[in-house]
Amino acid sequence: MNRKYWIAVIILVGGLYACEKEVIETFVSFEKPANFPQPVYHFSTNTISKDGFELGRKLFYETLLSANNTISCGSCHIQTSAFTHHGHTVSHGILDRLGTRNSPPIMNLAWNTSFMWDGGIADLDLQSIAPITNHVEMDETMPNVLSKLRNSSQYPALFKKAFGSDEITTSDFLKALSQFMVMCVSSNSRYDSIMRNEPGKMFTTQEQQGYDIFKQKCNTCHKEPMFTDYSFRNNGISISSVNDEGRYLITQNNADKYKFKVPSLRNLSFTAPYMHDGRFFTVDAVLDHYASQVQYTPNLDPVLQQGSSPGIPLTTDERVKLIAFLQTLNDHSFLTDKRFSEQ
């Protein structure tokens, strides 16, 4: 009788324990979407964990990272705009100081081979240093940021939870931010579900025709499925008043003058304005550019010089179909995913 009683108690406790475990283990770590290539981020030196990711998210939305504690990474990378700075040609940072470029999206960064419009940063773990220390962005020093975090009431314990030590190191700080950023995967557009052959998902006739045009006229640079080949190209936009020389600033090779990184077209309905300096406010304006406004500036990309005049010829009908296809690259779930929002 006694023995049976104890067995029952053990089973009951075991059962409860198992239930509790299930609740705890809801965190889903980084997963490669089935229709995506292998990521390039070095997960071997930064294992994603729930605590690391949550710490990274808190840091991403932390205003202590700026000189006067007013702005965070999330100020210029807004989730509802696919982590870009909607409504601004060039982004404004601390004290509304203007930069020279439009903030790129925090999206699918685990596949990025370099960061920034000019590719000046090759490792995501080193990326955060640039906006934090830039005079027109957060204008803070790295030693100050770490000192503020070390003196805060919350962060030492959160770093201990995530990395096993409450001593806040440069490496742990940057890797926590990376953990949050690589988790920001956008892979649930209509295009993705169709490519994954999900039941009941297919292009409309118009979208399919647009897709065919896309493959013929855009896919060289905006390569599927990431919709960028991560290369640097001059797409023939006029040279800006600040004469931003793009990739040349990094390589200091004349052949790289006026080249910028090819941006992904994913979520393009939410990431306006377009180009490195946000000069085009609508997709229509971008297509106008490619159809009739491409200019012969130094190092204009050869793929834009194949016809009698530079650019990509597009009929009105082709434009309508192309835009219909491009709309299928929007991933609304990414914009509303609570995991990526300020908590």
Partner 1 sequence: MKKNIIKVWAAIGLALLFASCKKDGPIAYNSAAKAELSVEFDNIVGGADLQLNTATYTNAVGESFKVTKMKYYVSNFKLTKTDGTIYTVPQDSSYFLIEEGVDDEAILNVPEGEYTAISFVVGVDSLRNTMDISRRTGVLDPAGAAADMYWGWNSGYIFLKLEGTSPSVAAADHVFMYHSGGFGGYSTPTPNNLKTITLDLTARGTPKVKQNKTTNIHLMVDALKVLNGSTNMSFAAVAMIHSPLPGVPLANNYANMFRHDHTEN
Binding positions for partner 1, rule: CB under 8 A? 42, 45, 113-114, 116, 120-123, 125-126, 129-130, 132-134, 141-143, 145-146, 169-171, 173-175, 249-253, 256
Nearest distance from C-beta of residue 297 to partner 1, angstroms = 20
CB of 106 or CB of 138, closer to partner 1: 138
Nearest distance from C-beta of residue 177 to partner 1, angstroms = 11
Nearest distance from C-beta of residue 249 to partner 1, angstroms = 7
CB of 232 or CB of 290, closer to partner 1: 232
Burial per residue of 271-301, b for 16 or more beta-carbon CB atoms within 10 angstroms, e otherwise = bbbbbbbbbbeebeebbebbbeebeeeebbb
d(CA 211, CA 209): 5
Nearest distance from C-beta of residue 261 to partner 1, angstroms = 12
The angle subtended at Cα 339 by Cα 200 and Cα 85, nearest 5°, is 95
Nearest distance from C-beta of residue 132 to partner 1, angstroms = 8
CB of 113 or CB of 306, closer to partner 1: 113
Of the CA atoms within 13 Å of residue 313, those in its CB half-sphere come to 5
CB of 195 or CB of 249, closer to partner 1: 249
Report the first-to-last Cα separation within the chain, whole angstroms.
51
CB of 233 or CB of 266, closer to partner 1: 233
Nearest distance from C-beta of residue 147 to partner 1, angstroms = 9
The angle subtended at Cα 36 by Cα 23 and Cα 196, nearest 5°, is 80
CB of 73 or CB of 213, closer to partner 1: 73
Q: Which two tokens stand for residue 233?
A: 């190209």
CA nearest 30: which of 192, 177, 176, 184? 184
Q: Give the residues across from 261 on adjacent strands.
A: 232
CA nearest 170: which of 132, 135, 137? 132
Q: Which two tokens stand for residue 114?
A: 């370099």
Residue 28, Cβ neighbours under 10 Å: how many?
10
